[in-house]
Structure 1
Amino acid sequence: MKITRRLLVSVCVLTLSGVVPGFAMAADTIAIITPSHDNPFFKAEADGAAAKAKELGYDTMVLVHDDDANKQNELFDSAIAAGVKAIILDNAGADASVAAVQKAKDKGIPSFLIDREITTTGVAVSQIVSNNYQGAQLGAEEFVKLMGEKGNYAELVGKESDTNAGIRSQGYHDVIDQYAELKSVAKQTANWSQTEAYTVMESILQAHPDIKGVISGNDTMAMGAYAALEAAGRKDVIVVGFDGSNDVRDSIKNGGIKATVLQPAYSQAQLAVEQADKFIKTGSTGLEEKQLMDCVLINADNAAKLETFALSN
């Protein structure tokens, strides 16, 4: 079930009045907490986790923190008050999320992290993340090839509080910086936002009209950048993203954005629920806390096989 504002208020009222047993229905419930579903990647996570939880016989509380650590803390309080069996989390900050995960652990509620790590081990049961460095290197290698190993380019970076932003940027540069004729003329954050990326790209174009390529830390920023380039009549600029969204898939198929890197959001979330189920039943996942899932390059050769962050055979 998706938790509504009314239900959130009810949680607070029940907690304050000490009538938590009213949430006995949550005894077999898994909470799924992610950033906004406006980003299709996070919606795929929530959908994948919810589908697997339902398959395994659990109800769900699907919650959105909007990358706000304070809101995330409130959602954890609600999930704890509801007595959920486990929490699946794509967190709102590597440092800022540790306390919330620890608080749930102290109440006997295990957390299973997906997509983004936290800075402390031994607090969450699992941290299942894409191999962002490996994926970024794949994207950078394709970018270098598309650029013909030379030309001016810009980089759009995600939120500073998100460890993935830095890891992807490092992966890009460890490849691209080997090519002396590839020149970085701009590196700016657009906070994973399509709207911000559009505005940032407009400014970069004004300052560097000779730009030849853009490499982006995620697909939503890539979409924003490409829209700005298209509006300026610069569809010749090479754009590469990261995530593997359907929107970028369609752009690739139509000759727009040239490539992206698929990270398996849907299956990653399902794996987290499977591990939560095993932990609930046995007290262990039998696996290491930190687990990496490799990424896959998506370009014109295989874009048609991509659907909702999964690649068919």
Structure 2
Amino acid sequence: MTRYLKFLLPALVVIAAIAFFALAPKSRDNLVVIITPSLDNPFFGWEARAAEARAKELGYKTLTFSHGDDAYKQNELIDTAIARNAAAIILDNAGADASVAAVQKARNAGIAVFLIDREINVRGAAHAQIVSNNYQGATLGAESFITAMGGKGAYVELVGKESDTNALIRSKGYHEVLDQYPDMKMVARQSANWSQSEGFTVMQSLLQAHPDIRGVIAGNDTMALGALAALEAAGRTDVVVVGFDGSNDARDAILRGRMTATVLQPAFRQAQYAVELADKHIKSGQTSQVEKLLMDCVLVDGNNARQLDNFGLKKG
């Protein structure tokens, strides 16, 4: 019996070691996956660049994708991140409700998920949700709009995707201010789905239906710039236009005197900060921050437009 134990015990040790390593959690690859709605849109493109650059500075490999606001494609990209054994995902998501399952799936797979720009409608799935203070920013834009309109006149509102919480929050912030002025008359409110081309076509239709409009307030700069192009094509250089995002194109339109203002949301810094929190979580297992983090917005008009560059304000 002793002779058999002599051979059996080493074998049991080997089997136990194999079982331990098979069941132990796999170490994460040194990879950060960055997923945004688009890489062509200036806003989403710059947040992707910011996240990628910061991740590389911190020593990570990166993969960058776009989901095109398609929740099904986003789900496939999350599966790719899981298959590649990513350490973290930086995500500007494809819908407040439609993205919940995908985010939870990544977390269940042991991947830290950090949302930027757009939040989801649950808490506890993402490790952090870093978003602009859209309500605060919208009130700044509305106040500038009212001043430029002289507190009266017919106007239209262009809103973003109804599935995007940001669209609803910005609209609510606008109306918190605008609705206090009885001589400000909203004659139409229509979605242009964050799109410049849709902003153009929607504005063409609205101009025909409401030729007396004196102002356009839009939920983002791309819609505002589409509306501006339609106004210019119709020879309407008398209409006040206010956007939201802080793009270079909006800056240039302000400097030309064709847009009144935009609201800068700090996309570049949000993306950097998301990577920094991801790095902290990867190294220590926690971020020491609450899940939802708000960054205040800044009004950009003729006074500071020259400082605006790629969704950030330069000093001086």
TM-score (norm 1): 0.92
Where in structure 2 are the equivalents of 1:151-300 lying within 5 Å? 151-300=153-302
What letter matches 1:152 in structure 2? A
Q: Match for 1:129: what amino acid?
A: V
Distance 1:57 1:304 in 2: 34
Q: CA deviation at 1:38?
A: 2.2
Select which of 73, 82, 85 maps to 1:83.
85
Residues 1-34 of structure 1: CA deviation (Å, up to 9, x unaligned) = xxxxxxxxxxxxxxxxxxxxxxx9x811100000
Cα deviation, 1:64-87, whole Å, max 9, x if unaligned, reads 000000000000001110111000
Distance 2:243 2:291 in 1: 28
**Distance in 1 of aligned mates of 2:265 and 2:63:** 24
- Cα deviation, 1:88-108, whole Å, max 9, x if unaligned, reads 000000001010011011110
SS in 2 for 1:308: coil
Deviation at 1:235, TM superposition (A): 1.3
Q: Secondary structure at the match of 1:225?
A: helix
Distance 2:202 2:295 in 1: 31
Cα shift at 1:58:
0.5
Give 1:123's match in structure 2, choosing from 116, 122, 125: 125
Provide structure 1 residue ranges, at least 5 long, that are not aligned to the other structure. Answer: 1-23
1:15 aligns to what?
none
Question: Larger Rg: 1 or 2?
Answer: 2
How many residue pairs align between the two structures? Answer: 290
List per-residue Cα deviations over 1:189-209 (Å, max 9, x = no partner): 000000001000000000000
Question: How far apart, CA to CA, are the structure 1 residues paired with 2:111 and 2:145?
Answer: 43
- Structure 2 CA distance for aligned equivalents of residues 38 and 201 of structure 1: 23
| CA shift for structure 1 position 110 | 1.0
Matched, 1:305 2:307: yes
SS of alignment partner, residue 161 of structure 1: coil
Partner residue, 2:4: none
Deviations 1:245-293 (A, max 9, x none): 0000011011111100000001100000000000000000000000000
- Measure the CA separation in 1 of the matches of 2:40 and 2:139: 27
1:13-92 to structure 2, matched below 5 A, reads 27-92=29-94
Paired residue type of 1:53: A
Residues 172-231 of structure 1 deviation map (CA, whole Å, 9 limit, x = unaligned): 001000000000001000000000010000000000001000000000000000000000
Q: Work out the CA distance in 2 between the residues paired with 1:47 and 1:39.
A: 12
Aligned AA (1:311): L
Percent sequence identity over matched residues? 67
Please give the alpha-carbon distance, in whole angstroms, between the structure 2 residues aligned to 1:37 and 1:170.
28
Amino acid corresponding to residue 185 of structure 2 in structure 1? K
Residue number in structure 2 paired with 1:101: 103
Q: CA RMSD in A?
A: 1.1
Return the TM-score normalized by structure 2. Answer: 0.91
* 1:6 paired residue number: none
- For 1:47 and 1:232, the matched residues in 2 are separated by 36
What amino acid maps onto 1:45 in structure 2?
E
Q: Using the alignment, how far apart are the partners of 1:44 and 1:129 within structure 2?
A: 15
2: CA distance, partners of 1:288 / 1:250: 37
Whole-angstrom distance in 2 between the partners of 1:38 and 1:244 = 16
The CA distance in 1 between the partners of 2:41 and 2:164, in whole Å, is 15
Cα distance in 2, alignment partners of residues 57 and 210 from structure 1:
56
Task: Give the whole-Å Cα distance in 2 for the aligned partners of 1:29 and 1:292.
Answer: 26
Structure 2 runs not aligned, ≥5 long: 1-25
2:135 — aligned with what? Answer: 133
User: Match for 1:150 among 149, 152, 155?
Assistant: 152
